[in-house]
Structure 1
Amino acid sequence: MTVTIGEMADGFYVADNGPGIPEADREAVFDAGYSTSTAGTGLGLRIVEQITDAHGWTVDVTDSTTGGSRFEISGVDFID
Protein backbone atom coordinates (compact mmCIF):
# COMPACT_ATOMS: atom_id res chain seq x y z
CA MET A 1 0.00 0.00 0.00
CA THR A 2 1.16 3.50 -0.82
CA VAL A 3 0.14 6.51 1.29
CA THR A 4 0.22 10.02 -0.14
CA ILE A 5 -0.01 13.29 1.80
CA GLY A 6 -0.80 16.52 0.00
CA GLU A 7 -1.99 20.11 0.35
CA MET A 8 -5.43 21.51 -0.34
CA ALA A 9 -6.37 25.21 -0.43
CA ASP A 10 -7.66 25.09 3.16
CA GLY A 11 -6.04 21.96 4.53
CA PHE A 12 -4.39 18.70 3.61
CA TYR A 13 -5.24 15.14 2.66
CA VAL A 14 -4.00 11.64 3.35
CA ALA A 15 -4.75 9.16 0.57
CA ASP A 16 -3.92 5.53 -0.13
CA ASN A 17 -4.31 2.96 -2.88
CA GLY A 18 -5.91 0.29 -0.70
CA PRO A 19 -9.38 -1.25 -1.07
CA GLY A 20 -11.18 1.99 -0.16
CA ILE A 21 -14.24 2.55 2.00
CA PRO A 22 -17.70 1.93 0.53
CA GLU A 23 -19.77 5.11 0.30
CA ALA A 24 -22.43 3.61 2.59
CA ASP A 25 -19.83 3.18 5.39
CA ARG A 26 -18.07 6.54 5.15
CA GLU A 27 -19.96 8.26 7.94
CA ALA A 28 -19.81 5.22 10.23
CA VAL A 29 -16.00 4.93 10.08
CA PHE A 30 -15.77 7.85 12.52
CA ASP A 31 -18.00 6.13 15.11
CA ALA A 32 -16.25 4.76 18.22
CA GLY A 33 -16.04 0.99 17.95
CA TYR A 34 -16.64 0.79 14.19
CA SER A 35 -14.22 -1.61 12.52
CA THR A 36 -14.30 -4.04 9.63
CA SER A 37 -11.41 -5.99 11.15
CA THR A 38 -11.76 -8.47 14.00
CA ALA A 39 -8.38 -7.26 15.27
CA GLY A 40 -9.39 -3.57 15.12
CA THR A 41 -10.59 -1.48 18.04
CA GLY A 42 -12.54 1.04 16.00
CA LEU A 43 -10.87 3.95 17.76
CA GLY A 44 -8.36 5.27 15.22
CA LEU A 45 -10.62 7.35 12.99
CA ARG A 46 -12.73 8.40 15.97
CA ILE A 47 -9.58 9.88 17.51
CA VAL A 48 -8.76 11.62 14.20
CA GLU A 49 -12.24 13.18 14.20
CA GLN A 50 -11.86 14.32 17.82
CA ILE A 51 -8.51 15.95 17.05
CA THR A 52 -9.88 17.76 14.00
CA ASP A 53 -12.94 18.90 15.98
CA ALA A 54 -10.70 20.24 18.76
CA HIS A 55 -8.89 22.41 16.20
CA GLY A 56 -12.09 23.60 14.53
CA TRP A 57 -11.30 21.60 11.39
CA THR A 58 -13.39 19.03 9.53
CA VAL A 59 -12.47 15.58 8.23
CA ASP A 60 -14.19 13.91 5.31
CA VAL A 61 -13.56 10.65 3.50
CA THR A 62 -13.85 10.22 -0.24
CA ASP A 63 -12.31 8.13 -3.02
CA SER A 64 -8.61 8.47 -3.71
CA THR A 65 -7.50 9.03 -7.29
CA THR A 66 -5.28 5.97 -6.80
CA GLY A 67 -8.22 3.71 -5.99
CA GLY A 68 -8.28 3.72 -2.19
CA SER A 69 -9.52 6.23 0.36
CA ARG A 70 -8.74 9.90 0.76
CA PHE A 71 -9.20 11.68 4.09
CA GLU A 72 -9.48 15.44 3.65
CA ILE A 73 -8.79 17.74 6.61
CA SER A 74 -10.16 21.21 5.90
CA GLY A 75 -10.55 24.50 7.72
CA VAL A 76 -6.83 24.65 8.52
CA ASP A 77 -5.14 28.05 8.86
CA PHE A 78 -1.59 27.78 7.58
CA ILE A 79 1.16 29.84 9.20
CA ASP A 80 3.73 31.39 6.84
Structure 2
Amino acid sequence: MPYHDNVVDELNLLVKFNLRSMQEGIKVHHDAEISLVEAAERLHSKGMITQIDGGYLTDRGVETAEKAHALVAALEVKMY
Protein backbone atom coordinates (compact mmCIF):
# COMPACT_ATOMS: atom_id res chain seq x y z
CA MET A 1 0.00 0.00 0.00
CA PRO A 2 1.65 3.26 -1.08
CA TYR A 3 1.93 6.31 1.14
CA HIS A 4 -0.49 9.07 0.22
CA ASP A 5 0.68 12.68 0.13
CA ASN A 6 -1.22 13.46 3.35
CA VAL A 7 0.65 10.72 5.22
CA VAL A 8 3.99 11.92 3.86
CA ASP A 9 3.17 15.48 4.95
CA GLU A 10 2.31 14.25 8.46
CA LEU A 11 5.51 12.19 8.68
CA ASN A 12 7.56 15.18 7.51
CA LEU A 13 6.01 17.30 10.24
CA LEU A 14 6.57 14.65 12.91
CA VAL A 15 10.28 14.38 12.13
CA LYS A 16 10.66 18.12 12.72
CA PHE A 17 10.13 17.50 16.44
CA ASN A 18 13.27 17.16 18.55
CA LEU A 19 12.85 13.89 20.43
CA ARG A 20 15.76 14.71 22.74
CA SER A 21 13.77 17.47 24.42
CA MET A 22 10.06 17.10 25.10
CA GLN A 23 10.03 20.75 26.17
CA GLU A 24 10.80 21.87 22.63
CA GLY A 25 7.71 22.19 20.47
CA ILE A 26 7.07 23.60 17.02
CA LYS A 27 4.83 26.30 15.59
CA VAL A 28 3.25 26.05 12.15
CA HIS A 29 2.52 29.61 11.11
CA HIS A 30 -0.69 30.45 9.27
CA ASP A 31 1.30 31.53 6.21
CA ALA A 32 3.22 28.23 5.97
CA GLU A 33 2.64 25.88 3.05
CA ILE A 34 -0.98 24.76 3.10
CA SER A 35 0.09 21.10 3.14
CA LEU A 36 2.03 21.72 6.38
CA VAL A 37 -0.86 23.61 7.99
CA GLU A 38 -3.27 20.82 7.07
CA ALA A 39 -0.85 18.14 8.30
CA ALA A 40 -0.69 19.88 11.69
CA GLU A 41 -4.49 20.02 11.83
CA ARG A 42 -4.75 16.29 11.06
CA LEU A 43 -2.09 15.36 13.62
CA HIS A 44 -3.92 17.42 16.23
CA SER A 45 -7.24 15.73 15.40
CA LYS A 46 -5.49 12.35 15.76
CA GLY A 47 -4.25 13.34 19.22
CA MET A 48 -0.56 13.41 18.29
CA ILE A 49 0.17 17.11 18.89
CA THR A 50 -1.22 19.43 21.53
CA GLN A 51 -2.22 22.39 19.36
CA ILE A 52 -3.85 22.70 15.97
CA ASP A 53 -0.79 24.67 14.80
CA GLY A 54 1.89 22.51 16.39
CA GLY A 55 2.70 22.74 20.07
CA TYR A 56 4.15 19.66 21.67
CA LEU A 57 3.95 15.96 21.00
CA THR A 58 1.47 13.95 23.05
CA ASP A 59 2.44 10.47 24.28
CA ARG A 60 0.90 9.02 21.12
CA GLY A 61 2.75 11.62 19.06
CA VAL A 62 6.08 10.76 20.68
CA GLU A 63 5.59 7.08 19.87
CA THR A 64 4.68 7.86 16.26
CA ALA A 65 7.49 10.42 15.84
CA GLU A 66 10.02 7.89 17.13
CA LYS A 67 8.86 5.45 14.45
CA ALA A 68 8.98 8.17 11.80
CA HIS A 69 12.54 9.11 12.80
CA ALA A 70 13.55 5.43 12.74
CA LEU A 71 12.05 4.97 9.28
CA VAL A 72 13.93 7.96 7.89
CA ALA A 73 17.17 6.78 9.51
CA ALA A 74 16.74 3.28 8.06
CA LEU A 75 16.12 4.64 4.58
CA GLU A 76 19.14 6.94 4.77
CA VAL A 77 21.56 4.08 5.46
CA LYS A 78 24.00 3.87 2.59
CA MET A 79 24.61 0.46 1.11
CA TYR A 80 28.10 -0.28 -0.18
Provide TM-score, normalisation by structure 1.
0.29
TM-score (norm: length of structure 2): 0.29
Higher strand proportion: 1
Of Structure 1 and Structure 2, which has the larger fraction of its residues in helix? Answer: 2
